[in-house]
Each structure stands twice: as C-alpha cells, then as structure tokens.
Homo-oligomer: A and B are copies of this chain.
Amino acid sequence: MLHAVIMAGGVGARFWPLSRRHRPKQLIDLTGEGTMIEQTMSRLDGLVDSENVWIVTNADQAAQIKKLVPQFRDDRFIIEPVGRNTAPAIGLAAVHLHKSDPDAVMIVLPADHRITNIPQFHFCLTSAVEVVHDSELLATIGIQPTRPETGYGYIQMDTSGIRLRDNVYPVRTFAEKPNLATARLFLESGEFLWNSGMFVWRADSILKLIRDLLPLWGVAFEEIDGAIGTPQEQNVTRRVFESGKGISIDYGVMEKAPRVAVVRGTFDWNDVGSWDEVWRLMPHDDHGNAIRGNVTLANTHNTCVLGNKKLIAVTGVSNLIIVETEDDDHDLPAR
C-alpha cells in the first residue's frame, strides 16, 4: 500500500523571530496561505489515503500539530526522541510502516516546502511509485531548475541510457551545493535537477540499504522493530537514538546506493528557505513591498513587513525584512 511520511523534524532558526525553538517553520504561516504542515498534508488528498499519512517529528511538535489537525490519528505520529538528521528519521518511519504493512511503499516529504501545481505533483509521485513498487530502486524527486541557484544540492540525470518512464531517469551523481559558476554550468547542461529532499521507495528497500550502508543504524532499527508494540518500545527507541550518530539520507544512503532513479519534477516548487523567498511568494504592491498585518508604508520599496498585533509604520527605507511577533519564547536567533 502507498504511504506518505511527512518529515517535520526541523527546528526554528532561519525564520526567527516568526519561527522559534518550539514553533518551527512548518508550524507557522509564513506566506499567508496557512501553516506549511497543513498545506503538505492537504496536498496529499487524492494521492494517499489519509489513514496512510504519517508524520515523523518530536513530541513537542506532535502536540502542536495535533492542535492544528485534531483529526490526525495519534498512532500516525512517529516520535524521534532526539533529532539525528534525516537518515535515522526516515529509517524509523520505515520500520514502523514495514511493521504495519510489509508491502509498504513510502513517499517521503519535507513538511516545509511550497508546491502549487498539485496535479503535476501527483503525476510525478505516481511515476515514482510505479518505478519502485516492485523493485529495490530508490526514487528521488528532482526539480527542473529555473535559475543558477547555489543554495540547493543538485542531481545529475543519466540521459544517455534507458529511461525508466518518460520523466524518470537513472541518477548519475549527486552534487553538493555548487558555487555560482558551477551552478550556471549545471543549469546550461540540462542534465541537473534540484535535490528536493522528496523520495519514494519500498520500506523494505530503504531498510535493506540502511543495513548495508549504515550498519550501526541497521542494528538499531532491528532492535526497535523487535520492541514495537511492547512496553519497551519508547525506551528502546530513545536509547538507540541517543547513542546513534546523526547523518543525512543524502550523504548516508542516496549518494552511495547502487540504483537510484530521479523523477524530473515539473510542478512549481519552493523550499521557502529564506526571508527573500517569503517576500517573493507574497503579493507585492507597485513598489515591491509585501505586507501582512497592521502596516502603513510611506516612501518604502522592496520591503517585506510581517505584522502581528502592533501597528508597524515604515518610512524612507528599502530592502528590509521587518517582523513583529509576540516575544513568547525569549530565545535569540541561532547564530
């Protein structure tokens, strides 16, 4: 059966003060369209049965998500006792899915991306599912680049051989975030896609590769697998996570896996990774200003103002991000 796993482990840092240690990006409404976690969930309507949507997160965020989406089933939260990056989080989800459905195919989605062309999004994921559901292939979703972005990793398609579907290619290499010159070459080549952090595979396929490539985590997940549904489950999970080493799925598995496919994603995608992106995604006035809340502007250009309760009056400035929030967390931005 087809499952979706939403990765909601991120901690609030880049969007301070709107995001906070206890209110990360996926739980806030950055662009005025609703929280990103809710958008990510509703984006799966028509693709994945809502009973088969899982969320990997920590206990604190799970409680907050439950408030936002009360109908979400408690037993579909998979709780990371401590954050250990994406490979252990995905592995933990795979163990749980595989336990409840040995034939599970899992779509892995970050909780904090923005996607607007939903039919194309569903089409791409369906292509990936078709490729992996009866194989050991790992599939990743690449995004057709539109600019020489240096903030993303890239995936090079192997366009020389046999395509797996019209829009699915074998992966030649994964490339780290490039410098601008390299990013331009990537863009011109037509062979490189942005690495979106979205994946599709059988739960048993990714567990086998974790055993092969991250053997300590392989042992850990076997131990958790044995404890699921027993009174020891929580303690075992905590112990192996606390003693385990953090590693990303890209570095730990994808770059070393023997058979990886990439879907050439044709939907509109934005990782909303910076205040600049937030400003770009909001509606603008004639002077390039994007505002929310109780805001009055005079002689102001290319400025993003996110108000909350207070009146914010701005005059004679340009190229600023201005954010007002309750100071309920008393945390300073991560440096």
Chain A interface residues toward B at CB < 8 A: 16-17, 296, 310-311, 313, 317, 320, 327, 330, 332-333
Contact = CB atoms under 8 A, between A and B. Distances in A.
A296 B320 CA distance: 17
Nearest to A296: B332
A313 B332 contact: yes
Nearest to A332: B296
A333 B17 CA distance: 27
Contacts of A332: 296, 311, 313
A327 B332 CA distance: 24
11 contacts: A16-B313, A17-B311, A17-B313, A296-B332, A310-B327, A311-B327, A311-B330, A311-B332, A313-B332, A313-B333, A317-B320
Contacts of A320: 317
Contacts of A17: 311, 313
A313 B321 CA distance: 12
A310 B17 CA distance: 12
A333 B296 CA distance: 10
Nearest to A325: B310
A330 B296 CA distance: 13
Contacts of A310: 327
Contacts of A296: 332
Nearest to A16: B313
A331 B320 CA distance: 24
